[in-house]
Structure formats: structure tokens, C-alpha cells
Chains A and B, each alone.
Chain A
Amino acid sequence: MNWAKRIAPTVNSIPPSGIRRFFDIAAEMKGVISLGVGEPDFITPWHIRESCIYGLNRGQTAYTSNAGLLELREEIAKSLYNDYEVSYTPRTQILVTVGVSEGLDLALRALLSPGDEVLVPEPCYVSYKSCVTLAGGTAITVPTTMDNAFRITAAQLEAFVTPRTKILLIGYPNNPTGAVMSREDLLDIARFAKKHDLIVISDEIYAKLTYDGTHTCFSSLPDMMDRTIVLNGFSKAYAMTGWRIGYAAANPDFIGAMTKIHQYTMLCTPITAQVAAIEALKHGEKSAAQMTTEYNQRRRLILNGFRQMGLDCFEPKGAFYLFPSIKQTGLTSLAFAEQLLQIEKVALVPGDAFGESGEGFVRCSYATSTVNINEALIRIGRFVVNLKNR
């Protein structure tokens, strides 16, 4: 029996994550220094972990309401207001999700009908396109370039709009490029969204990891509150990746529709993570700021290292990734990453895993110790020099 043939065509049509293949090779090797990790190297701050343990001791082990503990939604609304001056009503405009990943899936499924198009600037997070496909939509990718610091402009987007375009899906600060969009940059996009009556899904998971400037929440822009679904979470800012907790903030209609899917598929986000998230929002500001300071120091260290190797590299202003161009080596992203892993035992992620426009680049995560960064820089430098001398 050929069971593979019985898999739904939509699922067959999407590729497995490009990162996965690489992981399988790297995981088997010894002595690998990894710049391939898309999560903080900090362990969740103790006060957050402790609050979860305390909650468990008191018997907090039950379902919560579908949308999440009201106390948590209130804290989320408060933090959105304090950080970006956007007002959301906790009861109707905030939904606690299993990470931004679930939030994105819910938003797309709530909005898309077959044939609807979603504009997705690339390079982008690995799940965007596949989630659009799984939700029955069509992802229309819009390439961004290093020349424009991997930002997207309305002019670029205009070329890809059709009558079927319904959603613009953006993620800044960006994984994998580390690009950010200033308020002015985003205003340009906001005017574009309004002109074409698009819904904007804004993945702002790296918002707190913004260096040299402040993050602008997309819904804080004029007329964007109602047409934006803001997705955010706790993974990056509070080093809580494994807890799987995030949230969506949007108008009551969107949140209502997303909650409907969420209640049948997920029921609720684990209460343990919700309890910890309350603590993170109430008392986590100091630890989050400390981590951001450290990332910023490492960002400068790794950027300097790559530039000294003579590789083209734009300065990332957010997240914890550097996205150097390896075009001058003459290798493809995949060949560069594979050879580097085999020869020097440094793992990083080929840029094409994040879309076609990521070809010619590699993603280097600096969410690792300075000792590791220095050693990785030595090895990559040696690798690049040997390539030139070949």
C-alpha cells in the first residue's frame, strides 16, 4: 500500500523546513559550534520559572478560558499600551496563543479563502509561506535586498498587488536578516495597506530586541489599529521558547474568529506557561533589558568579525541574527554551509532556507556566548581564506 499517496495534496505540496535537513547532519557531529540556533542561549530567568513552580504547587493545572487567563490578557494589554501606546481591550481584543506560530496559523485560517493572496516579503521566517498554503491561500513573495537593508517599500509591493490580495504579512525585526523598519518606513507600508484595503499581519516577536532606536508597533500607526493583527510573544524577549506562549492583538471580530479556531484545535495555551508569562510581564523587564544589552554587545562583535573577513554584511538593527553575503566565495548558500560544517564544524543556516532571495547569504545567530562567537569567527575566517586560495 502506498500510504504516501493518501496524504493530502496541500501537505504534499509544501516542503519540509529547510533548516531540518541541516539539523540532522549537525546533530550527529561532535565539537560543533552552532551559530544556527534561532533561540536565546539564556535559560528563562529564575523568577519566571519559580512562579510556574509555585503555580503548580498551588494546583494550577487546569484548563483556562479559551482566550487565556484574564490576568494575563490584562498584563498584555498594559504592556502594549506602555510600550507602544496602543489600546486593546483584554476581554475582546487579545488572545493568548501557543507561540506566535499558532497565532499566525489562526490569523491566516480565520481570514483566507481559496485563491486569496498574501504578500510575503522575503527572506522571511520559515513558516510564513507554508502556513499561507495550509490555510488555503496563495503566498506571493516579494524579494527584499541587502542594498535596501532588507526593508520593504510600498513601491516594491505595488508590483505584486492583484485584486485577490487580502493580506500583507510582515515580520520586523526580521528573522533571518536582522532588518528593522523605522516608523517612516512603516508609514509608507501603512498608506499602501490602506490604499489597497489590506489586512496586515505583523509578527513582532523580536520587538524588544531592537538596537539603536525603538520599535514601532504596526497598529500604532494612523488608521492601522483595526486592520492589523499584531502577533507577539515571550520566546525571545524573556528567553521562553520552550514554554510555547504568545499572543495576538486585533479588532474583536478578528480575535473572535481566531478564538473560535483556537477553541476547537488547541482549547487553551498551557496554564503553566500562562502563569509564567504573567510573571514575565509583571517583573521581567530588568532581566529582558539585561539580555538585550548582551545581545547588542555580541552583535557588534560578530559584525566586526565578519567585516574583517571581507564579507559583505549589512548592520542588523534587531533580532539576534547576522546575514552576511557569501556571494564572493562563489559558493551557493547550501554549499557554503555544508562545507563549513564538514571542514570547520561550524553550523549556520543557508539563506535560501528563508526564501529564494536569501540565496547568497547565510544566517548566523549570535545568541551564543562570546567565547563561541570568537571561536566560530576564527574558524569561518580560516575557511574563507582557504576558499580564496583554492
Chain B
Amino acid sequence: MKELLDLLEKDYTQSPDQLAIMLNIPVEEVIKLIAKFKQEKIIVKYQTIVDWEKAGIEQVTAIIEVKITPQRKVGFDAIAERIYRYPEVRSVYLMSGSYDLSVSVEGTTLREVADFVAAKLSTIEGVISTNTNFMLKRYKYAGVIINDMEEQHRLVVSP
């Protein structure tokens, strides 16, 4: 099961037929397992990683350190939800250390992101403070090096 998930995480476009051969299990089994993973949300979503900079499309990303007051019964979750429901928010993590939530926000301009933080994020009840860090360059994302210069230097035929 782990091996199948590893393969899908690396490249979800591989056909069930090919996966079945590579894992030495029947193709029906692969189809069944994938359906099960999707239904149980073990596979949350298949996604494409885009280098927007290379595509010539301007993007601004900020990583915001948010301090919040946990609430009775729901802890950090209720406030986290109020934040992650915004489509501008790309990711939210609960952190140990000097702040509580790490929130990344994406927009087309600096102003747009700044407005979001000022008008939406910091006004949410329970948010004590925010510290906004603008991202300058994305080197690696989701285990993938964005502009990988590493090349194979093998000979065409070797012993």
C-alpha cells in the first residue's frame, strides 16, 4: 500500500495497468485501492506544480506568523478554520515555538496581500498578532526542486 502511494505521489498519471505490473498485483486490486484511497481522503487531491515565475505571471506570497488565543473545547482549530477557508490562503500549519499558526497567503500584488492581512486576517477574533514575511524566491516545493539544474551525464552505452 505504501509503495502504491509512493508511486502515485511521485506521478499520478501512471495508468493502473502499469502500476499493477510494477507492483506485481492484479490491476483490479490497484483500481480498488485507488478508489478506496480517494474515498477515505487518503489521497486528498492530485495537483500540478507550476513555476509561475517562468510562466511570466506575477505572484506574491507571504508567510505570516500568527499568534492566537486558543478557545475552550476547540483549541486552535476553530480559528485555524476561519483562516484556511479564505481562498487566498494557500497553507496553514499549527506550529510549536514562538507563534501558533504559519499561514501562507498568495496574491497578485504586494498591496493585495497586505490588504488581506490587515483587513481580514488580523481582524479575526482571537488573533493576537501577525508577523508578515514576504517570500523572495521559491527553490523547492512539495519535495520538488523548482528550477533543477542537475543533469545526467551518463554515456549512451557503458559496460
Contacts and interface: CB of A to CB of B under 8 A. Distances in A.
B11 to A, nearest CB: 8
B37 to A, nearest CB: 18
Contact of B21 (A17, A34, A36, A304): A304
A54 to B, nearest CB: 19
Contact of B157 (A23, A175, A242): A23
A293 interface: yes
Contacts of B78: none
A23 B150 contact: no
Interface in B17-61: 18, 21-24
A300 B21 CA distance: 6
B159 interface: yes
A43 B24 CA distance: 27
A369 to B, nearest CB: 10
Contacts of A293: 3, 6
A297 B156 contact: no
Contacts of B6: 293
Contacts of A300: 21-24
Contacts of A39: 154, 158
A125 B155 CA distance: 17
Contacts, number: 60
B158 A36 contact: yes
A38 interface: yes
Interface residues of A, number: 29
B23 A297 contact: yes
B157 A36 contact: yes
A142 interface: no
Given A26-B157, A127-B159, A43 B152 contact: yes
A45 to B, nearest CB: 12
A43 B22 CA distance: 22
Given A37-B154, A43-B150, A297-B7, A370 B159 contact: no
B14 interface: yes
Interface residues of B, number: 18
A36 B158 CA distance: 6
B23 A347 contact: no
Interface string A17-45: 10100110011000010101111010100
B18 A370 contact: yes
Interface string A280-311: 00000000000001000110110010000000
B43 to A, nearest CB: 19
B159 A301 contact: no
A227 B116 CA distance: 75
Contacts of A340: none
B23 to A, nearest CB: 7
A23 B14 contact: no
B154 A347 contact: no
Contacts of B153: 242
Nearest to B11: A370
Interface in A255-303: 293, 297-298, 300-301
Contacts of B24: 300
Given A297-B22, A300-B24, A304-B21, A126 B152 contact: no
A295 B130 CA distance: 48
Contacts of A41: 152, 154
Interface of B: 3, 6-7, 14, 18, 21-24, 150, 152-159
Given A19-B157, A126-B159, A175-B159, 5 more contacts: A38-B158, A293-B3, A300-B24, A301-B21, A370-B22
5 contacts: A23-B157, A38-B158, A242-B153, A300-B23, A347-B156
